[in-house]
């Protein structure tokens, strides 16, 4: 039987929707990578009785239970207390941790708020997990046949504690595990999810190991192949022929695999050609540049951008001809091409991507959602007008993704795919 | 007893961490706004047996259950089938919806993939909820004393269906509700969460209605006051004196309330003064401009940006003196001030915010995490060097937030708060 791990996020702010549960997706991906079974995630508010009940139910269902959040110094942090109650033990204060807390605050030249001492409390029988990134230690505690882990809710503290202390412990506990799960994600852009579902209907029905799943995200569609086997090598051998089929059918729509991002793919294409990059953005307001500069080391290829929200900046800094704007409108292929070519000159770059458009809610000279992407490379300049549904942020996000893929296809010398959404 | 609504998100991609469960936070906030009880959220994978079990358990626990996801056209979409099984009824195909599906695809000039017909299936006794934004209708079905709602997982389809069809139905079902919940969120920047927890320790312990909670997010700290009462007016009267206390103790650290964002606050401050805005960004690579342009109508105040990733662009387009760079280093207050003043000139704006820094992982002339924010207004130019912990994206995100607050404080004519993180 697969060792199963359940995740409980603690916090009324999650139920009230004041923050997004990114810890759940992060922990889910880590458990999948480790080949551990993970079939359920729950969110419970800062309510003592409900949390105690849920910890007990989870401990009865699963081999291990991970709790995140509620370890902080404020009064609504109740995870320590609830864990102790669920395991029917008392809380004690750890004097050594008190000293370390005081030293931590002193080293930062600040006085420790006394409320932080609460973070040195822990259920009798529990192990403290070191927190090099913050003041709240994690906890490990046996309870009713399961092992409970509590980790901080702040991602910067949770991530290293989980990877360095919780995950190795889970793998050890799951020692009897007789197989590994390997996933390969193929990332595509240019076809709808339902069309891709149809293109792979045969594989979906015929293949049980690997399984096939489809997943849409901001215009990109991922095809995920997941195999179980005794070893990584065997799992990868099961995946290989299906991966070849998916790659053959989707052709240049596939831009990467697994953790590849379109930003990284562009970075490597530019490095291979020795070309530098810049952007000229209107409606996207810097979103394309922000994504391109998310890649560590991107200063090898990225030089800069002009964000030209107003027409006179398009003319003055990007050299767009006022006559072009008068004849074609500011949201036009002609203007997008002049912006891209002008950015190449102003910024001294080989390659430039541009956007002009109407993100909404108010229309420009074209209806809201009309966006034009231009690309300039040493081999030519092109532009494409697209229509995006949805609100301002959706239009801006999908346009940014489309602009990155337009750029990628130009760098790869590929014809544009037929559909652009 | 409070009418309670439970949320189940369906999708293996959520458990595998391939997407983030933003629907859970969105639905949570809508239920809170509607004064409906919401104590639990669950994620279940694309597994028929587990989903049927969870729907039954949720129906036994709660008055209403909302399911999102698994209504799409692909083979791993199983929510319709699981709802039917949980309610012990069969599935039937709706001929009218089949016609509407065909018409929808024809109106877009595209041929419908036949797999889409599956979306016209529904459990016997269920009501179809119209989906103007996509092809999958929602569902409403009575089961074992609870009411089940199924909505699409794609946010652009979920949001209008939930607001226009599900939420009114829930409010009607909860007719016996004898009170409303009102939350007021006060948004602050400039103090740590634990310090704010201490500042309000007395209120936290003495006040049960409203309750007080604290919440950190990318450097901003929210203080949430939540009151229950017979009417909105009574709840707001309970909140008012506490809100006044919080505002008095935090002073200029408070920048807004409820849904206010720092971008909107800046927009309104600029409008009031009739000033225009631009940015000059190095390490943040357009993130500040992207946030400033997220506000609809921002072209009233925002003119443009220069993203100067390379030194020669800082010199050429922003007029930074090479001697200043040689003397102080590119990551320095002097360069940040010249960038901001230069951007004001190049872009023709009254106000400019600038960033120069080392986001990491590799250091520039200062260690990774060293960032300098400059602000130029008609009344002067200032800069501040800050040190941020964490990885590249964390440093860039926190710097962007800090830059926006630096700008806001300058526009408000406020002294800078003592701490900048």
**Is A62:A174 a contact under the CB 8 Å cutoff?**
no
Stated pTM of the model: 0.74
**Is A14:B25 a contact under the CB 8 Å cutoff?**
yes
Indicate the residue of A15, A17, A28 with minimum beta-carbon distance to B26. A17
pLDDT for B86-97, tens place per residue? 999 999 998 988
Q: What was the pLDDT predicted at A129?
A: 94
Separation CA B209–CA B238 (nearest Å): 7
Determine whether the interchain pair A17/B32 forms a contact, defined as Cβ–Cβ distance below 8 Å. yes
DSSP assignment, residue B414?
Answer: P
Q: What was the pLDDT predicted at B248?
A: 96
Q: What are phi and psi of A126, to 5 degrees?
A: -90, 160
pLDDT band at B418 (very low <50, low <70, confident <90, very high): very low
Determine whether the interchain pair B25/A12 forms a contact, defined as Cβ–Cβ distance below 8 Å. no
Determine whether the interchain pair B19/A215 forms a contact, defined as Cβ–Cβ distance below 8 Å. yes
Q: What was the pLDDT predicted at B101?
A: 82
Q: How many helices (H) and strands (E) does chain B have?
A: 16, 17
Q: What was the pLDDT predicted at A176?
A: 56
Q: What was the pLDDT predicted at B178?
A: 55
Handedness of CA A79, A80, A81, A85 (dihedral sign): positive
Closest listed residue to residue A266, CA positions, set A281, A252, A276: A276
- For chain B, give the mean pLDDT: 90
Query: Given CB atoms, is B312 within the 8 Å cutoff of chain A?
Result: yes
Please indicate whether residue B148 or residue B196 has the higher confidence score (pLDDT).
Answer: B148
Q: What are phi and psi of B381, to 5 degrees?
A: -130, 135
Please indicate whether residue B16 or residue A217 has the higher confidence score (pLDDT).
Answer: B16
Would the ipTM clear 0.90, i.e. be above it?
A: no
Percent of chain B with pLDDT over 90: 66
Handedness of CA B55, B58, B62, B67 (dihedral sign): negative
pLDDT for B360-392, tens place per residue? 887 778 889 999 999 999 999 999 999 988 889
Question: In A261-285, which positions are buried (b, 16+ CB within 10 angstroms) versus exposed (e)?
Answer: bbbebbbebbeeeeebbbbbbbbbb
Superfamily in which the A262-412 domain is placed by CATH: CinA-like (3.90.950.20)
pLDDT for B152-186, tens place per residue? 999 989 999 998 899 889 988 988 555 667 889 99
Helix (H, G, I), strand (E, B) or coil at B355: strand
Written out in words, the top-level CATH class of the domain with range B180-257 is: alpha beta
Per-residue pLDDT tens, chain A, 421 aa: give them: 578 999 999 999 899 888 899 999 999 988 887 778 899 999 999 999 999 999 999 999 999 999 999 998 877 899 999 999 999 999 999 898 899 888 878 877 778 888 888 888 999 999 999 988 887 899 999 999 999 999 999 998 999 999 889 988 998 898 855 566 788 999 999 888 888 888 988 887 888 788 888 878 778 999 989 887 878 899 899 999 999 999 999 999 999 999 899 999 999 999 999 999 999 999 999 999 999 999 999 999 999 999 999 999 999 999 999 999 999 999 999 999 999 999 999 999 999 999 999 988 877 788 999 999 999 999 999 999 999 888 899 899 999 999 999 999 999 986 443 333 3
pLDDT for B284-308, tens place per residue? 999 999 999 999 999 999 999 999 9
C-alpha atoms less than 13 angstroms from C-alpha of B143 in its C-beta half-sphere = 33
Residues 135-174 of A with CB under 8 A from B: 135, 154, 156
Query: Given CB atoms, is B39 within the 8 Å cutoff of chain A?
Result: yes
Structure tokens that stand for B299 in this block: 């072209």
Q: What was the pLDDT predicted at B205?
A: 80
Please indicate whether residue A338 or residue B115 has the higher confidence score (pLDDT).
Answer: A338
Separation CA A358–CA B293 (nearest Å): 12
At which residue do the structure tokens 């708020």 appear?
A113
In the predicted model, is pLDDT for residue B264 greater than 90?
Answer: yes
**Is B55:B65 a contact under the CB 8 Å cutoff?**
yes
Chain B residue with Cα closest to A192 = B113
Closest listed residue to residue B37, CA positions, set B228, B225, B224: B228
**Is A195:B113 a contact under the CB 8 Å cutoff?**
yes
Query: Given CB atoms, is A116 within the 8 Å cutoff of chain B?
Result: yes
Please indicate whether residue B291 or residue B192 has the higher confidence score (pLDDT).
Answer: B291
Q: What was the pLDDT predicted at A115?
A: 81
Determine whether the interchain pair B21/A25 forms a contact, defined as Cβ–Cβ distance below 8 Å. yes
pLDDT band at B1 (very low <50, low <70, confident <90, very high): low
pLDDT for B391-402, tens place per residue? 899 999 999 999
Please tell me which of B193-207, B218-232, B338-352 the model is most confident about, judged by mean pLDDT.
B338-352
Residue range A5-173 in CATH 3.40.980.10? yes
Structural domain boundaries in chain B:
5-173, 180-257, 262-412
Q: What are phi and psi of B283, to 5 degrees?
A: -65, -30
């Amino acid at each position: 039987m697969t060792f199963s791990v359940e995740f409980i996020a603690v916090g009324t702010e999650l139920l009230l929707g004041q923050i997004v549960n990114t810890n759940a997706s992060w922990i889910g991906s880590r458990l999948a990578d480790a080949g551990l079974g993970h079939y359920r995630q729950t969110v419970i508010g800062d309510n003592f009785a409900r949390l105690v009940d849920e910890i007990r139910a989870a401990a009865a269902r699963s081999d291990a239970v991970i709790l995140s959040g509620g370890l902080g110094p404020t009064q609504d942090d109740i995870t320590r207390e609830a864990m102790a109650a669920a395991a029917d033990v008392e809380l004690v204060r750890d004097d050594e941790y008190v000293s370390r807390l005081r030293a931590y605050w002193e080293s930062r030249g600040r006085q420790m708020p006394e409320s932080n001492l609460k973070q040195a409390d822990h259920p009798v029988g529990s192990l403290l997990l070191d927190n090099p990134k913050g003041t709240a230690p994690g906890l490990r505690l046996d309870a009713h046949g399961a092992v409970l882990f509590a980790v901080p809710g702040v991602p910067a503290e949770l991530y290293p504690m989980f990877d360095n202390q919780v995950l190795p412990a889970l793998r050890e506990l799951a020692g009897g595990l007789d197989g590994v799960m390997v996933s390969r994600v193929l990332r595509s852009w240019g076809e709808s999810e339902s069309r891709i579902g149809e293109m792979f209907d045969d594989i979906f029905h015929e293949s049980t190991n690997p399984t096939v799943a489809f997943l849409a995200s901001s215009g990109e569609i991922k095809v995920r192949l997941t195999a179980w086997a005794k070893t990584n090598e065997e799992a990868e051998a099961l995946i290989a022929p299906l991966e070849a089929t998916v790659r053959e059918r989707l052709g240049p729509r596939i831009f990467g695999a697994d953790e590849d991002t379109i930003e990284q793919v562009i970075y490597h294409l530019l490095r291979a050609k020795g070309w530098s990059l810049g952007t000229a953005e209107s409606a996207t307001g810097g979103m394309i540049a922000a994504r391109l500069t998310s890649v560590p080391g991107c200063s090898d290829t990225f030089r800069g951008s002009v964000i030209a929200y107003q027409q006179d900046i398009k003319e003055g800094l990007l050299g767009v001809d006022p006559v072009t704007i008068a004849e074609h409108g500011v949201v036009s292929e002609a203007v997008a091409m002049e912006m891209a070519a002008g950015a190449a000159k102003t910024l001294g770059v080989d390659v430039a991507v541009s956007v002009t458009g109407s993100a909404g809610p108010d229309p420009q000279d074209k209806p809201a959602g009309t966006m034009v992407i231009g690309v300039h490379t040493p081999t030519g300049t092109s532009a494409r007008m697209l229509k995006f549904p949805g609100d301002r942020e959706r239009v801006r996000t999908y346009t940014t993704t489309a602009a990155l893929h337009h750029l990628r296809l130009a760098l790869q010398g590929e014809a544009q795919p037929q559909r652009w959404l």
